Structure 1
Amino acid sequence: MTMRRNLLTDIPGVSVGHAEDAQLASGVTCILFDEPVIAACDVRGGGPGTRETDLLDSGRTVEKVDAIALAGGSAFGLDACAGVQAYLRENDRGFAVRDIRVPIVPGAILFDLLNGGDKGWGRFPPYRELGYAAAAAATPGPHALGSVGAGLGATTVNMKGGIGAASAVTEDGVTVAALAAVNAAGSATVGDGPHFWAGPFEQDREFGGRGSPATVPAAALATVTKGLPRTATTLVVVVTDAALGRTHAKRLATMAQDGLARALYPIHTPLDGDIVFAAATGRRILGDPVIGLTRLGAVAAHVVARAIARGVYEATALPFPGALPAWRDLYPG
């Protein structure tokens, strides 16, 4: 494969597109697959907002998906899936039922309705059109990070959140990558300092190279959150080029959830709707189905932690009064 770019598109056959509205302060991110892929998901947050996730359980008739949509807008943002679906139908993609194709687009949303943007959109929310635009913009090349797409309006408890990504290759030669939309109820940093909870897993100074603090201050272990129900959620998509069945994809999603616990504190609260989607393009044989999957899941958790930290590191503050600062505003240079 080509040189690793530390992005979700390091997986061949995967494209990423963003669409956002600066006045709305919200947007959509679309993960588009060249061919339908096996997918599963693992939901840990207490306030999820999802579409088509029941279809991802084992034993369902339709095993593969065409795309995954991530959106702001809380429950209104679920319309983004319909926009992605419309784009796919125009391109003759989807599950075939005689001469009809039904694109399969699971999705999940985060809450960004109180970030200062103008949410007075009238009768219909704009997320369907944003979903279509994100799908149309999807590219297999480098994709933007930070305050873009579903991450435009995202925040953590103490600073701006955003879109992050990371990738790695396992000792078996399997590639795994993650994209995260970070809108956590908790914090990605150790207290109010510059160090990320994910610091031990950082590679090549991808989120500032600060490492870990010599000690963790007691105040950093206090339970500090946004405090309002359903105002958070971190959305993650993990993709590998390994050949996995639905059951193994589910195990990958479950193991990858550990990356959220390594990067955010607290996590999986009643305030969050945290979810990890896992998808497998099937281009590389995993080898030993137990040991290979164990190695893949362990590396995936590290990759998720790194992607989350990058989402905060790459973010820029919203241009509204009272908006939370970005990490780079607080720790320039």
Structure 2
Amino acid sequence: MQPGPLNLITDVDGLIVGNAQDEAIKTGSTVLLANEPFVCGVSIMGGAPGTRETELLAPDKTVQKVDALVLSGGSAFGLDAASGVVDELRKMKRGFAIGKQTVPIVPAAILFDLLNGGKKVWNENPYRALGVKALQRASKHFPLGSLGAGTGATLASHKGGLGSASLRLPSGHMVGALVAVNALGDASPDGSHFWAGPWEINNEFGGQGGVHSSQTHTPATKLATLNTTLAIVATDATLSKAQCTRMATTAHDGMARALVPSHTPMDGDLIFAISTETKPLQDSVQNTLWLGHAAATCLARAIARGVYHATPTKGDIVPCFQAS
């Protein structure tokens, strides 16, 4: 398996991603959408999630497809980014048709970045506007690191960030991952290598894999209120909601490979999994197995890439990986 041409989640045909941020507040929002509504599942393994409309994604719920996904900083305030996206999509007449009304379905998840050194004093919630800007900027091409939902993200020892990666399976199906890395733990055992090192391809996070140092002691962690890693994994393979849910669950292996510890009681670690349904599966059992493996591998790589590409800004409370 090799990365797609962009090594981004947008190598899955039809997907676009937009980011918007406020450097003074040290926060931002990220929006993913497709040419058409898409099938979506979710798996939440953190103990402290903040979400919107994730219950709709259960396989037994009525709505079968969603119109966009939002990842945002800002804790509970950040959920308002999805409101801005919903308003804009309604203007575009995109959404679930109910009689003469159109209701955009936009699940969202938030991370906590309210104590990261940014100016958090505002008279009006800034996240609705950030959601609108992110949607308006959506494109196949986007940079990684300190932008979008990853703008103010932190780890125990370094800044976090927005990461992405992709893989093409031997079957021809494409898998991609997008992540905002804001973990309680660390992406590196020693400040010079990544836990995700064994899965690096083409020096995509600086060739900093190598042999991990032995870590038998308690790994570094940060304050229990500064956490949550949010991810989206995507494929062009035709999957049901139940199969997307299984892919999301399997993709958590990638989070555990790249972040130590992960899925803690103080993280809201969450993964959305989506299918654009453009390429049928010939062997459902065999290929869904490899889709899950590819999703986990992409996510581990995306996490390391997000941390590796983080850039410093005034007032940071932790250094960037490349500056440490």
TM-score, normalized by the shorter chain, greater than 0.5: yes
Residue equivalent to 1:173: 172
Q: CA deviation at 1:56?
A: 0.2
Residue equivalent to 1:98: 99
Tell me the alpha carbon deviations over residues 117-162 of structure 1, each in whole angstroms, 9 at most, x when there is no partner.
Answer: 111112x3110111011001111x2111100011000000100000
Distance 2:209 2:298 in 1: 16
Identity %: 50
1:242 aligned to 2:240? no
- TM-score normalised by structure 2 residue count: 0.97
Against the structure 1 CA distance between its residues 312 and 100, is the aligned structure 2 distance closer, same or farther, given a 3 Å change threshold?
same
- TM-score normalised by structure 1 residue count: 0.94
CA contact (8 A) 2:194 2:212 kept: no
Residue equivalent to 2:135: 135
Q: How does 1:276-291 map to 2 (within 5 A)?
A: 276-291=271-286
Query: Which of 221, 225, 228 does residue 221 from structure 2 map onto?
Result: 225
Residue equivalent to 2:66: 65
Runs of 4+ displaced beyond 4 Å: none
Residue equivalent to 1:45: 46
Q: CA deviation at 1:214?
A: 5.7
Q: CA deviation at 1:323?
A: 2.1
Query: Which of 175, 200, 205 does residue 202 from structure 1 map onto?
Result: 200
Secondary structure of the corresponding residue to residue 247 of structure 2 = helix
Distance 1:228 1:59 in 2: 34
Letter in structure 1 aligned against 2:29:
V
Residue equivalent to 1:182: 181
Q: CA deviation at 1:306?
A: 0.2
Distance 1:3 1:189 in 2: 26
Query: Which of 301, 307, 321 does residue 327 from structure 1 map onto?
Result: 321
Alignment length (residue pairs): 322
Calculate the aligned-residue CA RMSD, in Å.
1.3
Secondary structure of the corresponding residue to residue 17 of structure 1 = strand
Against the structure 1 CA distance between its residues 274 and 217, is the aligned structure 2 distance closer, same or farther, given a 3 Å change threshold?
closer
1:309 aligned to 2:304? yes
CA contact (8 A) 1:227 1:271 kept: no
Letter in structure 2 aligned against 1:156:
L
Letter in structure 2 aligned against 1:45:
G
CA contact (8 A) 1:317 1:323 kept: no
Against the structure 1 CA distance between its residues 307 and 214, is the aligned structure 2 distance closer, same or farther, given a 3 Å change threshold?
closer
- For structure 1, the 5+ residue unaligned runs are none
